[in-house]
Structure 1
Amino acid sequence: MIGYKISSTMMSRFVVTLTLVLLGTTCNAQLSSTFYDSACPNALSTIRTVIRTAVSKERRMAASLIRLHFHDCFVQGCDASILLDETSTIESEKTARPNDNSVRGYEVIDKAKTEVEKVCPKVVSCADIVAVAARDASFAVGGPSWTVKLGRRDSTTASRSLANSDLPRFTDDLQTLISRFENKGLTARDMVTLSGAHTIGQAQCSTFRDRVYNNASDIDAGFGSTRRRGCPSTISAGNDKKLAALDLVTPNSFDYNYFKNLIQKKGLLHSDQVLFSGGSTDSIVTEYSKNPTTFKSEFAAAMIKMGDIQTLTGSAGIIRKICGSVN
C-alpha cells in the first residue's frame, strides 16, 4: 500500500508538471519582432517588396490591406481566419455581411505568401504576413511605420457567424462602436485612432446612401450634395457598388484630414461622423485634428495593440502552406 501511494503521488506530480509545460508552450509563447531573424531573415523584405508593388499599382490597396488586418483580428483574433476559403467544413468569413464584396487584398497576401515560401518554406504564417502587410501599406502612402511583433500562427477554423456579429458596422452608433472595441480589449481612444485609417480608401454607395440623402443636421449640405452626385438614390447592384473616397480632400495620402472632416460634418459614413457628434470622443477627434504627430504615433501603437488580439502562438495553430486552405 505504501509503495502504491508513493508511485501514485509521483505520477500525479509528473502529470501536473507535464501539463504546465504544455500549457506554457501553447499559451505563454510571446510574439517578438525578431521571431524570424534566424529562421527566415529575408521574410520582411520579401513581404515589403510585394506590398510596395501592389500599392504602387493601386493606391487604394493600402487601405484595403490595413482593413484586412482589422477584419481578421476582430474575428477569432489575428489568426488569418479571414483568408480561409469555403469548404465542406469551413464557413468562410469572406462571405460574411461586413466582408462580402467589400474586403479586398486577398490576392496580395497570397502573392506575398508565395514569395516567402520560395525563400523559407513552411516557416512564416499567413497571420504574420497580414500584420506586416498592413504596416508596409501604411508606410507606402505616407502613414506611420511600426515594429510588428511576430510569431503568430494560423487557425484551422473560421467563423462567419462571429464575423457577422463582432465586426463594427457603418450603421453603428457611438456606444455600440465603443462596446465592440472594448470587447476586443481596445479603448474608445484606440477606436478613434484606428478609425483614422479612413483617411485613405473608398466606400461603396450602399454604405453611405442613407446618410447623404436624409438631410440630417449632422452633415454639411455641400458635402452631401457632392456625394449624392456619385451615389444615385435608386438601389441597384450597379449603383450600390459605386465608390467614393472616405476623405474627399486627400484620398490617397495617410494624413490627419479625416479628423478635420468630422469637425466640418463631412464624415462619409455614419460610423465616422458619430465620433464627433457631441459625444465622449469629440475631444479625441479635436486633438488629432490639431496634432498629426500625436495621431500617427498613437495609430502605430494602436495597430500593435490590435495585432495582439487572441493570437495563436507556440504549438497552437499551424503554418499554412497556402493561405486560403488548411494544410
Structure 2
Amino acid sequence: MLGYIWQYVYTSFLRYWLKWLIRQATGKCELQRICSECKPGATRTAKAEYSLRSSKSKVLRGALETSKDNLEQCVDQIMKEKNVKPQKDPQFKASLNICLLQITGYSSLYVSVEDLRKEVFSADNLEHEAMLLKLWDLLMPSVKLESRITKQWGDIGFQGDDPKTDFRGMGLLGLINLVFFSENYTMEARRVLSHANHPKLGYSYAIVGINLTEMAYSLLKSGALKPHFYNTVQGTPELQHFHQLYCYLAYEFDKFWVAEEPESIMHFNQYREKFHTIVKTHLQEPDASLTLTVSSKN
C-alpha cells in the first residue's frame, strides 16, 4: 500500500519538479539526457518510452502512436515543445527518431503477428497448401509424400493424418514459423528433427514448434520482447525479425531438451515452462539478444 502511495506521489508531483530542477541545472530536457547518456539499444529506448508515456504533454504522449510516415514531423514537434535547439544538440533528433521507430514499430509488429495468428489454415487456399508441402520437402527431401492426407505427417511431428487440424491455435503463423526455420536454417532444422525422432528423447517436432510459436507470440504480446528487438533492430522491427526470434527458440529449446534428458514426453509442459522462465530471465538483461548464432542460408 505504501509503495502504491509513493508511486502515485512520485508520478503525479515529485517527478515533474525533479525533471524541472535537473533541466535548470543541465540545460537539457529528460529526453535529451536519455539520448546523450544511454547507448543505443534497449536501455535508451525503454527510458525514452517511459518518459514519453509519463509526460503531461499530449504531443509527447501522442508520439507513441504516430505512424512511420509522420514520425519525422512528430520528432520536430517534440523538439519544438521541449525547446530543443538542433545546433546545440545535433545528435538528438536522429537518436529520438530511432527510439520512436523501435517503439511504434513494436506495436505495428504485434498487429502483423496477430493478423497471421488469426488467419485460419485452409486446405482450399493454394498458397497455404504449397507452404505445407514445402515444409515436407525441406525436412524430408529424400522421402516422397504418398498423398496429402497420410500418416507420414507423423514423421515430422504432426498429430494426425492431416496437419491442418494442428494449426488451430496459432493459425497460419505456426506454419510460417516452421517453414521459415526450415528454409533459412535447413541443416539445423533437420538436425533438430533428428533429435525429435530419437527413440528415447524424442518429441513431436511440428507440435512443439507450434507450441514455441505460441511462446514467441505471448512474449511479444506482453512486451517482454522489447529488450531483444530494441537491442537488435536499429529501426522498425518487422515480421522477418519475429520469425528469426522463433528460429532462436526452436533451436535453443532442442538443445535444452536434449541436455535435460526428460524421462518422457509426458513431462513436456514442465520442461517447457522451465525453458520459458530461462528465456524471460534472459530478456530482463539490459543487453538481451535472442539471436541464433549459427550460419544462415541467406
Q: Which has the higher contact order (CA 8 A, sep 6+)?
A: 1
Same fold (TM over 0.5): no
Give TM-score scaled by structure 2 length: 0.28
